[in-house]
Structure 1
Amino acid sequence: MALVQVDFFSEKLMRTVTINAIIPVDKKLNQPNKKFKTLYLLHGIFGNYTDWVCGTRIQRWAQDHDLAVIMPSGENKFYVDNENSHEYYSQFIGEELVSITRAMFPLSQRREDTFIAGLSMGGYGAIINGLKYYQTFGYIAALSSALLIDTFINAEDGDDVPYMYKRSYLTSVFGDLHKLKGSDKDYKALIQNMAIKDVPAIYMACGTDDSLIKENRDYRDFLLQQRINVTYEEGPGAHEWDFWDRYIERVLEWLPLDEKNEGLSSGHIE
């Protein structure tokens, strides 16, 4: 198993970016032609490319399932394109990052082997980019997703308003908030504008004490009404790493991964 930090120049973001990549290279020693199934894993607000490795046991579970995991930074930009700031995070995630990592590492190029997931802001980003780039991603997993565009549209500024809910901040991320509904940043509109057969399989989970549970239940109900293939789970927990650590393992159990096969490591000595 290799944990690799990579710096490369992104044309979509016009700067050098850093990613973490988990690559189960020990499994290739006996299978030199093996192409890995791949999970593009997005962090939440205030986080970066190190969050998932620091906050969960994703490295251990990826090794056991021969899974490559690519973890970029989304800063606090919700993984969307913003023409005004010339920051194209959606194109970065859905196009550029996939192309570059496939050139760097032995990753499968098949849709059914390519997955996208995230938590909170990253759950939102996984949903919208998994839907936008459905020809690339066959599976979407979203934990405690920040499905808040109805709230964002009516946001206001003020000293008592938290940073991530200020209208000025949200406008800097999404552009004109009045144009959010019906756009490619609208997770319901994206579904309504797609053929059912094109929608990737979707997994959602949220903690029963999470402040976002109402929005996650609402989107689950919407997907069911649209006859979309969605697996939805709830469990004890709030908006916290203990919940995401447990449920990222549930995500891997849901994905069509290789049968568990423990490799040699400091945690697997026999």
Structure 2
Amino acid sequence: MALIQCQFYSEVLGLSTSMNVILPQATRSQIGLEGKQGTGPHPTLYLLHGLSDDDSTWLRRTSIERYVASLGIAVVMPQVHRSFYTDMEQGAAYWTFISEELPTLARSFFPLSAKREGNFVAGLSMGGYGAFKLALRHPERFAAAASLSGVMDLHAARIDPVVQPMSPAEWRHIFGQDEIRGTDHDLLELLQRHTNLGTPLPQLYQCCGTEDFLYEGNQTFREACNRAGIPLTYEEGPGTHEWGYWDAKIQDVLAWLPIQEH
């Protein structure tokens, strides 16, 4: 595998930012690692970080580079700070960055697939929210999306003092004073819109530990999918909000992804 750390200027954000990228490499000479590389633009997984993390976290706390070596896919891990993948009320336009600018820039730097069937998104916690936000707001761009212990009911997270990961001041800094329910920030609202329209959605995977403080919100999203008849691969079991759980589950996600030979 080739691991590349990119520092670049974002026109959307108006500042320098970074991403880490894993690219497929055909190799058999690295001990314990057999790489695979196709001939065309690489299928790509956009792998999103959580609230307290950055673009290096998946590399530092899991073996993601080793896990994807035999799959022939690229992994793009961007930096969005504590933005909740949102065009912030008082701050930078991270939603526009992640949904519009990043894919274009990444494909200009590296041979990455632009086809729907060659693009996937996944993330943990805040990144699980971001992954489903991308999939539900742009279902035409992704073949599959996965949330690991995601913030699936943002409205409930805002008002629950146990779940709430941010102070009221930081929440206003990101989202402003407006209600979340029924807006483009609300995954449950986005799900309902697609149900009403009959929109073809990406394949969806969701998991959460039963001892996780976000478990109830994950149940809410799962039940909404069931009521709407939307296919969802759902897994739960013992686990809290920690990296041992995510290191194990990202391997399940990779095995589940509908990666096509290219």
- TM score, norm. by length of structure 1: 0.87
1:43 lines up with 2:49 in the alignment: yes
- Compared with structure 1, are the counterparts of its residues 185 and 30 closer, same or farther at alpha carbon in structure 2 (3 Å cutoff)? closer
Identity %: 38
- 1:17 maps to 17
Q: How many matched pairs?
A: 252
Match of 1:187 in 2: 187
Query: Alignment partner of 1:3: what SS?
Result: strand
Give the secondary structure class of the aligned counterpart of 2:22.
strand
Q: 1 CA distance for matches of 2:45 and 2:16? A: 22
Contact 1:196 1:228 in 2 (8 A): no
Give the C-alpha shift of residue 258 in structure 1.
Answer: 5.2
Amino acid at match of 2:14: M
Query: Within 5 A, what are the aligned runs for 1:11-160?
Result: 11-26=11-26, 33-82=39-88, 84-154=89-159
Q: 1:13 to 1:236 in 2, by over 3 A?
A: same
Q: Is the 8 A contact 1:155 1:165 kept in 2?
A: no
Structure 2 counterpart of 1:117, one-letter code: A
Q: Which amino acid aligns with 1:92?
A: F
Q: Deviations over 1:79-98 (max 9, x none)?
A: 1112x335211111111111
What SS class does the counterpart of residue 79 from structure 1 fall into? coil
Alignment RMSD: 2.2
Task: Give the gaps of 5 or more residues in structure 1.
Answer: 260-270
C-alpha change, 1:32 and 1:254, in structure 2 (3 Å) is closer
Q: Counterpart of 2:208?
A: 206
Q: Secondary structure at the match of 2:53?
A: coil
Matched, 1:215 2:211: no
Question: Secondary structure at the residue paired with 1:108?
Answer: coil
Runs of 5+ unmatched residues, structure 2: 28-34
Q: Which residue of 1 aligns with 2:255?
A: 253
CA distance in 2, matches of 1:189, 1:30: 40
Structure 1 residue runs of 4+, over 4 Å off? 29-32
Give the C-alpha shift of residue 153 in structure 1: 4.6
Please report how far the alpha carbon of residue 152 of structure 1 lies from its aligned counterpart in structure 2 after TM superposition: 4.7
Aligned to 1:166: 167
TM-score by length of 2: 0.89
Within 2, Cα distance between the matches of 1:240 and 1:219? 21
